[in-house]
Amino acid sequence: MSSNGKQWVKIFSVLLLLGTAVIFAAGAAVYSAGTLSVRVHEKKPGGVDLTLPVPAALINAGIAFIPDEDLREIDKNVGALKPVIEQFLSGLERCPDGPFLQTKGQDGTVSILKRGRKLIIDVDSKDASVHLSLPLRSLREVIGKLCRHHRGRVEI
């Protein structure tokens, strides 16, 4: 092989290595952000049976597409509560795993619990079952991005 050919092989090898490193880093970032999981099961014959895992990084990226006018409206309505929500989520991250709410009524049952670094919400009715798993870290990031303009403090 000529020296010119060897040089092209080296360049290609370096580019391939860099490409692999970028893909690995992106995968690691998505994995560390966690996954929001939604499961819906309609109990009627032929009903919906949907499982939808959504990388939290995708949700965070999606916020960038919310129009500024809508972000200002969200901030206006929820922004003052941002410090309270952040304190709540911080406390939730530190508390032990276990149930927060379990209720049973005529229409069905609802349970909210913490497992690891996730908030798990289960709703079961005669018509459908819904399971939602939310990474706590992602909730904090979403609140931070949705209420990014609010600088006030709320005492609790």
- pLDDT at 26 exceeding the cut of 70: no
pLDDT tens across 123-136, in order? 999 999 999 999 88
Q: How many angstroms separate the Cα of 31 from the Cα of each of 44, 53, 57, 87, 109? A: 35, 12, 9, 25, 31
The pLDDT-based confidence of 139 (bands split at 50, 70, 90) is: confident
Tell me what the mean pLDDT of segment 42-56 comes to. Answer: 90
User: Which residues does 91 contact at the CB level (< 8 Å), separation at least 6?
Assistant: none
Please indicate, yes or no, whether residues 108 and 136 belong to a single structural domain of this protein: yes
HSE-up of residue 44 (Cα within 13 Å, Cβ side): 3
55 phi, psi to nearest 5 deg: -60, 130
Residue 1 domain-assigned? yes
Residue 106 domain-assigned? yes
Please indicate, yes or no, whether residues 19 and 63 belong to a single structural domain of this protein: no
The pLDDT-based confidence of 152 (bands split at 50, 70, 90) is: very low
pLDDT tens across 52-111, in order? 988 888 887 888 888 888 888 888 888 888 888 888 888 888 999 999 899 999 999 999
Q: pLDDT value at position 32?
A: 59
52 phi, psi to nearest 5 deg: -130, 100
The pLDDT-based confidence of 29 (bands split at 50, 70, 90) is: low
Residue 70: give its domain's CATH number.
3.30.160
Task: Supply the mean pLDDT for the chain.
Answer: 83
Count: domains in the chain: 2
Please indicate, yes or no, whether residues 125 and 82 belong to a single structural domain of this protein: yes
DSSP code per residue over 5-66:
HHHHHHHHHHHHHHHHHHHHHHHHHHHHH-EEEEEEEE-STT--EEEEEEEHHHHHHHGGGS
Residue 156 domain-assigned? no
Residue 152 domain-assigned? no
Q: Which domain holds residue 38?
A: 34-146
